[in-house]
């Protein structure tokens, strides 16, 4: 199975910059496949980032997000070596989580 979460972090002027790429098909449920039938909806519903056990970013997504979504944000705080936990769940119950060290 391929890795579904790629995460890069760096400290910059008192902030932690986070860049994430999530491998996911993000199907709306409105597209027809080559057989003419609708492809079932399959999209990420929620993405949560935690640093030091506290939520620093939460996103609630729907069908309007592109395949293999890229997400970038920054938050105040976080020290080099601290854990950053990333988790997502989709509408089919599939999920993934990973923890990286802030650099």
Six-digit token string for 88: 């997502």
Mean pLDDT, rounded, of the chain: 95
Residues 54-99: tens digit of each pLDDT: 999 999 999 999 999 999 999 999 999 999 999 999 999 999 999 9
The torsion angles phi and psi of 57, rounded to 5 degrees, stand at -160, 135
Instruction: Specify the number of domains making up the chain.
Output: 1
Per the rule left: phi > 0, alpha: psi between -120 and 50, beta: everything else, 36 is: left
Q: State the pTM of this model.
A: 0.91
Which of 84, 3, 98, 4 minimizes the C-alpha distance to 44?
4
Residues of the domain holding 45: 5-101
Enumerate the β-bridge partners of residue 8: 19
Q: In this predicted structure, what is the pLDDT of residue 71?
A: 97
Which domain CATH number covers 33? 2.60.40.10
């Amino acid at each position: 199975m391929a890795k579904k979460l790629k995460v890069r972090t760096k400290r910059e002027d008192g902030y932690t910059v986070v860049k994430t790429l999530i491998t996911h098909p993000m199907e709306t449920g409105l597209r027809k496949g080559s057989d003419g039938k609708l492809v079932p909806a399959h999209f990420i519903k929620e993405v949560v980032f935690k640093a030091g056990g506290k939520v620093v970013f939460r996103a609630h997504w729907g069908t309007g997000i592109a395949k293999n979504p890229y997400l970038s944000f920054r938050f105040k705080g976080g020290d080099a070596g601290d854990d950053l936990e990333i988790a997502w769940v989709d509408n089919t119950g599939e999920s993934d989580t990973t923890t990286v060290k802030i650099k």
